[in-house]
Structure formats: structure tokens, C-alpha cells
Structure 1
Amino acid sequence: MAGRTGSCPGRGKAVATLLLCLAAPALSACTAAPPPPSPRTPVPEPTVAARALTPAERQTLAKAEALLTRNCMEERGFSYHVTEDLPDGVNRLFPHVVDDEGWAAEHGYGSDIQRKRDSLAAKNPNQLYFRSLSAERRDAAVDALNGPEATGLEARIPGMGTVRHSDQGCESEAQRSLYSDLRKWYSAWKVTDALERSVPPAVARDERFTAAVSRWSTCMRTKGHSYSSPMEARQRFVRPTGAPGSGESRATEIATARAEAQCAGTSGLAKTARTLTRAERAKTESDHSTEFINRKTLESGALNRARDIVKAG
């Protein structure tokens, strides 16, 4: 749900961006022209102690938001589908190095997972639905989903600028229903999400990490695989959607990934990456504690309501 920086894009660009966003299960904060603001007034949440949610609990929140968005869109005369989550690929599961030999033996570098992701995205019912609409009807659907120009919600992301989004539309209405304080939620969500994504690059720049990568590369060469880094190895086997394949066999992919996992342990790269990641995350949360606490508090406070919404379907 990536926000927009600056002014609203033109109508054609907004629709094209929306269709791209709909290929993923969680919709992006694409901007478009406004539907009327919702008259509903959210019920304030009781104060809840801040805590980090588990991945399963965050999935519950995401599904509840999707269900609320569906209901809102249907009230406005449009279809909206709650879609299957795309499976996590190698970059999400192993941002620095594949260190699980069992996973590598089954998936290699995850080219099988990438194919599944591509297939699910191509068959995404929301994307297909929006493409099936007339231009006029599609514009109205964009309006209903995303609300007006990027005004009403704002998040200042340290070192990255400001993102803005409409505080109307079904996406915002769903988030308001879940979290009550939509403006606080939007800022906390966008800031923490961006900062969390900044952790892996910060780790990769650390001299201790680059030294461990060098040891990993030496280990890989002794096993017959000449790669300067784990990133170089995975890019050979997992290509962006539409890019030509590497021509390497599935057996070669698995053998290389298994060697990577073995070298991740013997070189100390896996341990170094985990240690640096914990330290970088702790520093990031400490430096920006307000937004992280706000997000944890709002998510915790919304969890019971989300469970009820998911149960009702």
C-alpha cells in the first residue's frame, strides 16, 4: 500500500497504477478522484498496551481490511474480491543469504515460488474485473476505492520525504473502521514500513557483513560455484517477471542453493547477518520509537475487531 509523494497523477496513470496494485493481495494507496466522504463515525478504541503482532495476527488484520474494503465497494456498486496471499519469495524469506538447507533442497532459490506468484498475479480477480469495465465505469471504481487527490493523510518518512493519500475512499474507510484514528495509523504504518525496509540495505553496507560475504564467496568456490555474493547467485536463477530464464536446470539451482546454505553457516555469514539485523532493528525502533509504539498499539487494539470481521466473513 505504497503512498504517493506530491500531487495526484493524471487519470490514465492512476488507473494503470491501480491495476498494478491490484496484482498484490494488499492494495496500494493509489490516488484518484473522490467519492463522497463516509458519514460513519468510528468508535474509539480502548487503550491497549503496545506489542509486536505475530505474522499470523498481521494476516488477520490484512484480511479484515480486505473484507471491509469489499463490503464498502459493494455498497458503492462495485465488485471486490478478497484474494489469496502471494507466497513469500526468497528475497522476503532470506534477505541476505539462504541459510536453511532444507528449504534450499525443496525450493532452490525459489523459482517455483516465483512462478506461482506470477500465476496468481495474472489471474488476480480484482485486476481482471477492473480491466473488464468501461473507461467511465473504471474511473468510478477507482474513485470509490482510493478516494480523492492525495490529501487528508500524510507521513513524513525520515530521509525519504513525505507521502500523502486521500482520507476517503473504501481503502481509507476500512482502515478507519479497524484503527479508529486513521491519521495516526497512516503515519505510523507508512513510517515504520519504510524504516523496516531500510534495515537489510543498512546491514549489507556494514563492513562486518561484507567481510563475511567474502568468506562465503571463498567457500562457494571450493564447492564449484563462483559467485561474489548471495545476491549474484539468486539473480541467476530467479528473474523478474517477463525476463528470460537463466537456462540453468532445476537440479543446478537446488545444488547451488544447498551449497549457499552450507557456506552461510561455515563462513559465519548467516550469524553475522542475524546479529547485525537485530542491532539495526533495535536502533531503528529506538530512534523512531513514537511511530513504532503507535503502530503496535493501534494494531493490538484492532486485533479483536479484526478477528470478529474475519469470523463473520
Structure 2
Amino acid sequence: MAVLLLCLAAPGLSACTTAPSPPSPRTTVPEPTVAARALTPAERQTLAKAEALLTRNCMRERGFSFHVVEDLPTGVDRLFPYVIDDETWAAEHGYGSDIQRKRDTLAAKNPNQLYFRSLSAKRKDAAVDALNGPEPTGLEARVPGMGTIRHSDQGCESEAQRSLYSDLRKWYSAWKVTDALERSVPPAVARDERFTAAVSRWSACMRTKGHSYSSPLEARQRFIRQAGKSRADEIATATAEAQCAGASGLAKTARALARAERARTESDHSTEFINRKTLESGALNRARDIVKTG
């Protein structure tokens, strides 16, 4: 949300900067505490809502409005990053064009965007500084493949995270690194020759059902954004995709490759993953109290 507001305010202005990453020094991997564990999606939603509430309070203190909004419904790309393999879901949503329309509608009505657009240019700049901080200094993370990302430690976003996680610098580094690494898993899986071989089998299966697509990505792109496509065709194609995901072994192959890639990634960058699990687990009770208070 902070990034969205920033981009709306000044496309040429960035809240963070990047630089080539120097060689990482050898560090001692911290021992995980008993509480350190990967949180469930519901628990992470609790953390996110608590952070939004703290950000709202901070922005109000600085003279600005900020609304706590519900997350947008999860789209097909997050639910099924490789291939739709749930026939029941496909029969109801197809490729998720109905979900995408709902996401677009909710985004257009986002009260934070509407409020921000109503501000004068001077107030917009002040709101950006209040939310993100005046300069991208104080926090940094060495993200593999992206160099060093920097951000202010003075804005309301940082204040909220400091209140939740206590050690803001450690949290920022762990958050940015692990988030980037988690996002790198699907592309790594897609490059694996075992995945591409399974996609070829999937494509052959689809042709036997009357659907000519070289990959699941090609199929979903046709129905998600292109206007004028039949809803019945969308559901029929997505259902066939789910059936072929099982018959071709694509779904099973993708899951196995994704598990292996995540395990490798966490092993190679264990410090940041352990730090994130530790800080999130430690913040959970605080977050619950914040959400309860509202």
C-alpha cells in the first residue's frame, strides 16, 4: 500500500534505492528459538492488519487519513502459480476472471487511493514523506540478484514495523530478502527441464480435449485479460487444464520441484529465513492485541 501511494504521488521518486551488492561477509547462522516457525496465512494476515492499524494511528498523528482495508481476493496466479489442478475451483471460477473483476473493482474504490488523489500536490508530497519517510536511509537489505535495497527508517510504515518487530533493521533485511527469494521459486521451477517436459505432456493432453495451448500460462492469459471471451469456454478450458494437470503429471512435478527449490533457497539463505520466522513469531501476540483493540 505504501509503495502504491508513493508511485501515485511521484512516478520519478523512489522510496528505495539499489546498488550493486558487495560480497556478503560470512555470518553465523542464528539458532532458531522454540517460537521460531513459519506462520500460517491467517497469522500473517493478523500481522498485516496490526501493521495497517499502527500505520493508520501514526498517519493520523501526522495529520493525514489512512484507512485499514481488507486484502483483495487472491487471484489465480497466487493460488495456482504453475497450473490449475483443482477441478472444483476451475468449474466455479474458470481462470479467475470473476475474481480479477472483483479485484479491479475493489482497487478502484480503495479509500486510501481516493483520499490521496484528493490532496493538493504539496499535501501529496507531505503524505508520501509521512508514510515512507523523507529519504531512503536507515534501512537496507542485500537482496540476491537485486543488489542493496534501501528505505527510510522514519516513516509511519517503518514506525509500525518497529512497534511490531522491535528490531526494525533486522526485520527489514529479513523481510525483503525472503520475500524476493520466495518470489524467485516459480521462475526457477519453470526453467527446469523436468517442468518443461511435463508441460509438453500437458499440452498434448489438452489437444485431445480440443484445446490447443502450449502452456497453462498461454491459456490463462487468453481468458483473464482479453475481453469478449465466453464464460462457458473459460470454465470448460480451465476444467480441462485441471484434468490434464493430473493426467500429465504436471501438477505433481511442479509441487515436487517447488518443494526442492524452497528447501534449497532456505538452506542457502538460512540466516534471513530464521530471522523472519523468529521476528514474526515473536510479534504475533502483540499483533493479536493490536487487532483486538482496533
Q: Which residue of 1 aligns with 2:93?
A: 107
Q: Give yes or no for the alignment of 1:223 onto 2:204.
A: no
Decide which of 235, 239, 243 is 1:254's aligned counterpart. Answer: 235
Aligned runs of 1:133-144 on 2, under 5 Å?
Answer: 133-144=119-130
Deviation at 1:148, TM superposition (A): 1.7
Query: SS where residue 260 of structure 1 aligns?
Result: helix
Structure 1 length-normalised TM: 0.85
Cα distance change, pair 57–305 in 1 and its aligned pair in 2 (3 A): same
Q: Give yes or no for the alignment of 1:15 onto 2:9.
A: yes
Q: Distance in 1 between matches of 2:203 and 2:155?
A: 50
Q: Which residue of 1 aligns with 2:112?
A: 126
Q: Which residue of 2 aligns with 1:182?
A: 168
Q: Which residue of 2 aligns with 1:199?
A: 185
Q: Which residue of 2 aligns with 1:26?
A: none
Q: Which residue of 2 aligns with 1:308?
A: 289
Residue-by-residue CA offset, 1:203-257 (whole Å, 9 max, x unaligned): 0011110000000000000000000000000000012xxxxx2422000000000
Q: Distance in 2 between matches of 1:248 and 1:130?
A: 35
Residue-by-residue CA offset, 1:278-309 (whole Å, 9 max, x unaligned): 00000000000000000000000000000000
Q: Distance in 2 between matches of 1:150 and 1:139?
A: 15
Query: SS where residue 202 of structure 1 aligns?
Result: helix
Q: Give yes or no for the alignment of 1:235 onto 2:221.
A: yes
Q: Distance in 1 between matches of 2:11 and 2:73?
A: 22
- Counting aligned pairs with the same residue, the percent is 86
Q: Distance in 2 between matches of 1:272 and 1:82?
A: 39
Residue-by-residue CA offset, 1:14-50 (whole Å, 9 max, x unaligned): 71459xxxxxxxxxx9469xxxxxxxxxxxxxx6631
Residue-by-residue CA offset, 1:51-108 (whole Å, 9 max, x unaligned): 0000000000000000000000011111000011111101000000000000000000
Bigger shift: 47-56 or 145-154? 47-56
Aligned pair count reads: 277
Q: Distance in 2 between matches of 1:71 and 1:246?
A: 41
Q: Distance in 2 between matches of 1:100 and 1:2?
A: 34
Q: Which amino acid aligns with 1:282?
A: A
Cα distance change, pair 50–176 in 1 and its aligned pair in 2 (3 A): same
Q: Stretches of 4+ moved more than 3 A in 1?
A: 29-32
Decide which of 153, 162, 167 is 2:148's aligned counterpart. Answer: 162
Contact 2:47/2:284 (<8 A) preserved:
yes
Gaps in structure 1 of 5+ consecutive residues: 4-11, 19-28, 33-46, 240-244
Bigger shift: 135-144 or 66-75? 135-144
Contact 2:16/2:150 (<8 A) preserved:
no
Deviation at 1:159, TM superposition (A): 2.1
Structure 2 length-normalised TM: 0.90
Query: SS where residue 136 of structure 2 aligns?
Result: coil
Q: Which residue of 2 aligns with 1:40?
A: none
Q: Which amino acid aligns with 1:311?
A: K
Q: Which amino acid aligns with 2:268?
A: D
Decide which of 83, 86, 89 is 2:72's aligned counterpart. Answer: 86
Q: Distance in 2 between matches of 1:293 and 1:194?
A: 15
Q: Which amino acid aligns with 2:255?
A: R
Gaps in structure 2 of 5+ consecutive residues: 18-32
Q: Distance in 2 between matches of 1:14 and 1:121?
A: 13
Q: Distance in 2 between matches of 1:150 and 1:110?
A: 37
Q: Distance in 1 between matches of 2:94 and 2:11?
A: 32
Q: Which amino acid aligns with 1:85?
A: D
Deviation at 1:179, TM superposition (A): 0.2
Contact 2:85/2:243 (<8 A) preserved:
yes
Contact 1:2/1:30 (<8 A) preserved:
no
Q: Give yes or no for the alignment of 1:299 onto 2:285.
A: no
Query: SS where residue 82 of structure 1 aligns?
Result: coil
Query: SS where residue 254 of structure 1 aligns?
Result: helix
